[in-house]
Amino acid sequence: MLFTVVSAHSGCTEQPDYVIRNLNTIRSIYNITVYPNNLPIIQKGASAVPSGLFNKNAAGRISPVGNFTGFDDSIEYFFALAPTPDTNPGKVAIYEAQLVEFTSGCPEVASSLVYLRTGVIDKKTNKVDLSKPTTTLAQVAFWKFDDQGAVLNYHAWIPNLQTWTEVGNNVDFDNVVIQKAVPVQLCPQIMQNCKGDNQQYSSVATCVAALELKPFGSFDEAWGDNIVCREIHVLLTKVRPEVHCPHVGPKGGSPPDNWKCVDIDYSVDYFDDSQLFGMPLGSTFTCGAPLL
């Protein structure tokens, strides 16, 4: 099996065409997470995504956020959840995406490590304010491509998401006082974004009362019936409120299968690879599969 490593600066030469193709696809995906490149997708949704990046049936898992199935779910995770200065108290956004490690041993599979550099954005220039602290969010990912080179499946991990969130916002989310304040800040956003048929609570006060009964959760385990999960998913209510407003509601989703902020069975839901990817375990991200 061919094993090829390409540096972040593409210093290696004479790589197979598929290596360069896969590298460029992954770079293009992460470059759209850089502010303000992600704004058109937040404003217009899937129609603003460049063609050729994701297959229409794309599906994957992002730990610790959850499973995502379909083109819209996938592109919203990668692009609409990327922070913007007006969606967090620290006014932080991604100002650079550095793909620091990459390997692609066959046309259909690759793996990567990206460092997402984040900092306070000057809204007048849309540039990072380097006079203020910056930090980094990492993502490790496996990728499966279709015959045209679009991403069909992905399995990614974001380490230390809780620490990055605290450092980037200068907020201690382990502080009980801060935890009590989050619903007060979150519920007006829910009420503003989820109106009419998408309304989830009768008032801000009702929303706060309902969320105060739920565990706060952790950004390192955001998949569950907790406040943190809703803090994440409220960002997506601007894109497709009919889909995402139920996620921030009291039940965490809607039937028959639109569930996100609900308690899961760790031993099942984090390891249902065959169901999520539609292939036997050990086959999706392995060159010359099956591995098992």
Q: What is the pLDDT of residues 81-137, one digit of tens each?
A: 999 999 888 899 999 999 999 999 999 999 999 999 999 999 889 999 999 999 999
Whether 144 and 197 share a structural domain: no
Inter-residue contact 265 to 217 (CB < 8 Å): no
Output the average pLDDT for the chain.
Answer: 94
Answer whether residue 6 shows pLDDT above 60.
Answer: no
Do 74 and 39 lie in one domain? The reply is yes
State yes or no: pLDDT of 154 exceeds 60.
Answer: yes
Residue 14 pLDDT greater than 90, yes or no: no
3-7: which pairs have CB atoms within 8 A and are 24 or more residues apart? 3/103, 3/105, 4/103, 4/104, 4/105, 5/102, 5/103, 6/102, 6/103, 6/104, 7/102
Does residue 292 carry a pLDDT above 50? yes
Domain assignment of residue 252, yes or no: yes
291, part of any domain: no
202: domain range?
176-215+224-263
Is pLDDT above 90 for 204? Answer: yes
Please tell me the predicted confidence (pLDDT) of residue 1.
Answer: 36
Domain identity same for 56 and 130: yes
pTM: 0.93
How far apart are the C-alpha atoms of 46 and 256, rounded to whole Å?
23
Query: Cα(177)–Cα(181) distance, rounded to whole angstroms?
Result: 6
Shared domain for 49 and 189, answered yes or no, is no
